[in-house]
Amino acid sequence: MPPVAETIYRLADEADLPVIAEMYAKLDRYFRSLSYRFPKVENVGQLWLDSFRRTLGRFSVLHVAQRQDALLGFVLGRVKRVAPYLGGVLVGELSDIWVEPEARRLGTGERLARLNFDWLKAQGVHSIEVQILEGNQASHAFFRSLGLKPELSLYRLTWKDHGAGDEG
């Protein structure tokens, strides 16, 4: 029986980005199966990458889990400054995390999240936040297991919900 390949955790590189964009598209589809109510867009993975690519290594970081030649997952972290009335401090955001189904429940997500937390801590952030969609009980449990505590609920009214007819 051949030995099981070890999972490597590392910073993403340029060659990883097309696969990560595909993974993000899977994450987007999952979001839409829950309570995600933003308009569906074409090429969502590429648009997502474009939203932070220029800040990589400065205000954002992208880690991957890899076994042999296959990426198993990614995590994106960002640094932002909150408003002066909230103290004007830097806050870390675990923005997005995805683990392929075959790599779940093996510690892959936890290891990716902790890499993200370590990088954010090294940036001097005051705290780390995560947004979780309504109905995503697995993510609620996962982040609680990592020590995060609920703080804020976000509510959204679309014009479709309001009955105004404009779905924009």
pLDDT digits (tens, 9 = 90+) for 119-142: 999 999 999 999 999 999 999 999
pLDDT of residue 113 exceeding 90? yes
Cα dihedral sign, 33-34-39-44: negative
How many structural domains are present in the chain? 1
CA atoms within 13 Å, Cβ hemisphere of 141: 5
Residue 147 domain-assigned (yes or no): yes
Domain that holds residue 85: 7-159
Residue 124 domain-assigned (yes or no): yes
- In terms of C-beta density within 10 A (0-12 exposed, 13-18 middle, 19 or more buried), how is residue 19 classed? middle
pLDDT at site 64: 98
On average, the pLDDT of the chain sits at: 92
Q: Rounded to whole angstroms, how far apart are CA atoms 30 and 36?
A: 9
Residue 25 domain-assigned (yes or no): yes
Residue 11 domain-assigned (yes or no): yes
Q: Rounded to whole angstroms, how far apart are CA atoms 33 and 75?
A: 20
Residue 1 domain-assigned (yes or no): no
Residue 36 domain-assigned (yes or no): yes
Residue 78 domain-assigned (yes or no): yes
CATH number of the domain bearing residue 34: 3.40.630.30
pTM for the complete prediction?
0.89
The model's pLDDT over 30-68, given as tens digits with 9 standing for 90+, comes to 999 998 889 999 999 999 999 999 999 999 999 999 999
Residue 2 domain-assigned (yes or no): no
Q: Rounded to whole angstroms, how far apart are CA atoms 34 and 28?
A: 10
Per the DSSP assignment, residues forming a β-bridge with 97 are 75
